[in-house]
Structure 1
Amino acid sequence: MRTIPAELAKRYEAEGWWTRDTLGDLLARGLQAAPGTEFRVHSAVRPWTGTFGDVELVARRLAEGLRARGVGPGDAVAFQLPNWMEAAAVFWASAFLGATVVPIVHFYGRKEVGYILESVEPKVFVTAERFGRMEYEPGLCAGVPIVGVVGRDFDDLLGDDPLPGTIAADPAGPALIAFTSGTTRDPKGVVHSHQTLGYETRQLAGLYPPDRDRQLTAAPVGHFIGMVNAFLIPVLDGAPVHLADVWDPGKALGLMMSDGLTVGGGAAYFMTSLLDHPDFTPAHLRYMKYAGLGGAAVPVAVTTRLAELGITVFRSYGSTEHPSITGSMYTAPEAKRLYTDGDALPGVEFRLAGDGEILSRGPDLCLGYTDPDLTGAAFDGDGWYRTGDIGEVDGDGYLTITDRKADVIIRGGENISALEVEEALLAMPGVAEAAVVAAPDVRLGEHAAAFVRMRPGDPAPGIEAMRTHLERAGLARQKWPEELSAVDDFPRTASGKVQKFVLRRDIAAQQT
């Protein structure tokens, strides 16, 4: 883990940003305060309706069952589940035990899941028998001591009685390992403590408007922010939880009218897919009062479109490593909310390096990576994190992201490693060189676009042949490029390196 300067740690504790609470403590208090709060899963395959108290009982029985099997503080508990009740039960049970939870996005493929399980060596892995393209593969978790499969034997893990209270753990110790794709070929394991994750939860909750009403959460709970929004913030606020295990804009519009649910933002795609759906009517706007956008590139065309419909838009900027660096309050001046990514949030500091790269630090900055080499490269001795993003700051201290130094595409809030996709493309017959970059996408913010240089005499593949190849390679579908172009050569630096910024610029110019 990275070294946190002593003066920073003292400051965070003195300001109350870091406390002695574990996640288990925070959850136990919140659940005790509002046991009758509604918890509902809107699903075609596994619907569920109950209360916080009902879910807590399952979580505490699971915690007791795992405790009896030797699971406790410091042990890793991994789960790969859709937005189901059982995902909340696993997360809450892990928190009560003081264990380290490892959420895995439910649409990750066998390559990513296998790497994650091998990296963290969890004591427990909970997954689903089948959901969409996800299917339980016993061989992937052969080395995990305790495995539970929802829809098959998950209930066998439950103890007869619920675990009382919480098991003590070090608040500064690991509470969560969130895997995210980046510039490396394998997902990066980002480690957060009880303190960093607890502060992030309180800080993010503070950005939300008080009249946001009953929100529908469709972002995957296997993703860092989806999990915080679904399983932590509502408990702290005593707010109902409504989950959808697939994002269906038509279903979401229907739930607005039938159940009075709201959709309050996330990646820009969630909002634009509602507006573009044939079932959308002006009557739905009463359930779309706010749009807190982040997690992916936020086109100005989207923010202005939403504002013209009377929706209050506010943007934020962060990453799994440092979840909330900047953000605008919903009460900020409209120009700041629409055209910038906000100013520094409480406790957070950021500055620009000589090349414009954003450096940040704050109480919600992670402890580091599971890979010490990545930790050493991303953090310095003074506590600053190199984000890999380029930005500009206006006279009022508001930040705007202008480019990305890191070689990563953010599609609908999900990170895609360009290197990983390029290596898969290079295994195609006849491909001599490949480059993958981010292309603007009006729905998703960005998508992957691939360029290939073929060996002399070899024909360029079509996009369907590329997709077939990537599927056989086990690459998750959201990582597949949505554009494919063959080039005679790439724009290069004097040293021969591909100038990806030129490729990105050319693609953007073609779409204007």
Structure 2
Amino acid sequence: MTDTAHTLGTARTLWELAERRAALTPDRPVLLQEDRILTFGELRDRAERCAAGLYGMGVRPGTVVAWQLPTRIETAVLSFALARLGAVQTPVIPFYRDREVGFALRESKAEFFAVPGVWRGFDHTEMAHRLGARGVFEAYGPESLPDGDPAVLPPPPSNGTDVRWIYWTSGTTSDPKGVLHTDRSLIAGGSCLAHALHLTEDDIGSMAFPYAHIAGPDYTVMLLLYGFPAVMFEQFALPGALAEYRRHGVTVAGGSTAFYSMFLAEQRKLPPGEKLIPSLRLLAGGGAPKPPEIYHAVVREMGCQLTHGYGMTEVPMITMGSPDDTVENLATTEGRPPRGMEIRIADDGSGNGEVRLRGEAVCQGYLDPAQTAAAFDEDGFLITGDVGHVTASGHLVLTGRIKDIIIRKGENISAKEIEDLLHEHPGVGDAAVIGLPDAERGERVCAVVEQPPGADPLTLAAVTEFLRAQGLSVHKLPEQLEVVEALPRNETLRKVLKYRLRERYSVMK
């Protein structure tokens, strides 16, 4: 991390960080969207005017404001306006509907709710009123944000350790939880990402994920620390989004493993030697397991580096791969933690164990005190539910989740191990391995796969023969194969929703 970035990273609050960057490079761009450019100075100034408008509406320090907005320049401005006021903001993913949105509004006790109006054919304003939301206002177009004279504003917040953010777990389990964050925990998470990737002010990043996701502030902190811009995608789909990547000369892209696969699929449509995005030098992301074969395919076929990390709503960035890591570490690990992030492995005697975390980037707990009490051990480490180990070089290897351990006839089987091998099969586009109830075995191994276009139909016999050839132990071989058109995923980082697969296929045999 550069000296400037390190100094900026000591800011107590997100607003202080934004002010410091605006003072350093006011005319440099921070956000690009289609033909629009927002500079660091304009972000500060527009956010202050928006904060004054919100203040005139009755928003005060500590007021809970929910917002369900797409990835737009106005969304970032509104979020920083709330940070300037010291309000408590609770972002809601724009794809969520009545059940999830109603839950978030009730649990957070939001006093105001910002919505985009009619977006992608859905009337968010009507839904907000149907749910009985308070203080509903629309914030979508360039002229839509509240506006006022910054002279009316109280001093900005100075304490970065108060809870000012309520994020919602991303939906890979059926019940969301309200996760409590501070400005400092978000700055710490973004600093980890920035430190690992070795970016410079000459880079151009990209936000292809919902800004309401925990990755939104994570990524924005990195922009503020290093002073480079990112292209915002309100709707991300390939190949449609490629024109914007090329037009703006994006050098850093990514999101999650599903995004890597989408880029690869488009690369494979081109003649050998032709780069999908000529300026691209790095794919980076996290949020879901990365099979080693995906890493090797990206480097080999796209001609750029791939670094992958480990984060969650509760801890936005835990570890991150670095471009100067070895090929082995980049392909098989989640990277290393930054200074200040403690990783404890609750070893079960097998060399692996549950991953537990302590550090500034860790959340303060949950809205529900009972959930908070259950989430931390006696030493204050967050219990993640992930299983793995730390190598001699300090890199973290994840081998699965507690719930992803399949217990077949008393033997523990890692779903991730089988998934990584399945990704090497040319007839598999993506795969999820789950344990299903079985009267004889306790659980049986079920592989659910997507196939790439034009692939020969897969059979269970063909899959098990391939896995045997890869050296997989006989007791780990799938006993059930399901081929689906598309695996169920969430709408943020496109994580596979395994609980839906278990619900669909859990018939006792």
Distance 2:172 2:246 in 1: 42
Corresponding residue number in structure 1 for 2:385? 388
Give, in angstroms, the shift of residue 255 of structure 1: 2.6
- Greater relative CO (CA pairs within 8 A, separation 6+): 1
The one of 177, 181, 184 equivalent to 1:188 is 177
Per the alignment, residue 501 of structure 1 pairs with none
Who is 2:215 aligned against? 225
Structure-1 separation of matches of 2:203 and 2:502: 43
Q: Distance in 2 between matches of 1:256 and 1:33?
A: 27
Aligned-pair identity (%):
29
Q: Indicate how the Cα distance of structure 1 residues 390 and 477 shifts in structure 2: closer, same or farther if over 3 A, else same.
A: closer
2:90 is aligned with 1:102: yes
Change (3 A) 1:79 1:439: farther
Counterpart Cα distance in 2 of 1:395 and 1:222:
36
Change (3 A) 1:439 1:134: farther
Query: Paired residue for 1:299, among 272, 278, 291?
Result: 291
Find the aligned partners of 1:124 and 1:69 in 2 and give their Cα distance. 9
SS at match of 2:289: coil
Output aligned runs, 1:431-510, within 5 Å.
Answer: 489-490=507-508
Consecutive unaligned residues of structure 1, counting only runs of 5 or more, are: 1-14, 411-421, 423-434, 444-462, 468-475, 492-512
The residue number in structure 1 matching 2:309 is: 316
Question: What is the aligned partner in structure 2 of residue 91 from structure 1?
Answer: 79
Q: Quick one: which of 317, 338, 341 aligns to 2:331?
A: 338
- CA RMSD after TM alignment: 3.9
Deviates more, 1:21-30 or 1:391-400: 391-400
Q: TM-score, normalised by structure 2?
A: 0.73
* Deviation sequence 1:206-248 (CA, Å, 0-9, x none): 122335721221111010013421x332123221231011112
The residue correspondences of 1:326-365 to structure 2 (distance < 5 A) are: 326-355=319-348, 356-365=353-362
Question: Is residue 2:18 matched to residue 1:27?
Answer: yes
Aligned residue in 1 for 2:162: 173
Task: Tell me which residue corresponds to 2:229.
Answer: 240
CA distance in 1, matches of 2:363, 2:175: 19
Query: Do structure 1's residue 374 and structure 2's residue 366 form an aligned pair?
Result: no
Partner of 2:264: 275
Could you say if the C-alpha distance between residues 436 and 146 of structure 1 is closer, same or farther in structure 2, counting changes exceeding 3 Å?
farther
Tell me, yes or no, if the aligned pair for 1:55 and 1:85 is still in contact at 8 Å.
Answer: no
1:137-152 → structure 2 map (5 Å cutoff): 137-138=125-126, 140=128, 143-150=132-139
Change (3 A) 1:483 1:122: closer
**Distance apart, 1:441 and its partner CA:** 6.4
| CA separation of 1:265 and 1:400: change in aligned 2, threshold 3 A | same
The worse-fitting range, judged by mean Cα deviation, of 220-229 and 86-95 is 220-229
Q: Is the 8 A contact 2:231 2:248 kept in 1?
A: no
Question: For residue 422 of structure 2, what is the aligned residue in structure 1?
Answer: none
How big is the shift at 1:133? 5.2
CA distance in 2, matches of 1:438, 1:17: 47
Structure 1 442/187 Cα, relative in aligned 2: closer, same or farther at 3 Å?
A: farther
1:256/1:284 contact within 8 Å kept: no
From 93, 99, 108, give the equivalent of 1:120. 108
Please give the alpha-carbon distance, in whole angstroms, between the structure 2 residues aligned to 1:486 and 1:319.
26
Aligned 8 A contact 1:73 1:169 in 2: no
Change over 3 Å in CA distance of 1:27–1:139 after alignment to 2? same
Aligned partner (choices 255, 262, 265) of residue 254 of structure 2:
265
What's the TM-score once normalised by structure 1's chain length?
0.73
TM-superposed CA distance for 1:275, in Å, is: 2.5
Per-residue deviation, residues 103-154 of structure 1 (Å, max 9, x unmatched): 1111112211111011111222111012225421445356544222135897
CA positional deviation for 1:325? 2.1
Unaligned runs of at least 5 residues, structure 2: 1-5, 406-414, 417-435, 437-443, 453-483, 489-493
* Residues 164 and 51 of structure 1: CA distance in aligned 2, closer, same or farther (over 3 Å): farther
1:18-72 deviations in Å (ceiling 9; x for gaps): 95712111112112322222255546xxx74443333433321220112233322
Contact 1:62 1:90 in 2 (8 A): yes
Moved more, 181-190 or 477-486: 477-486
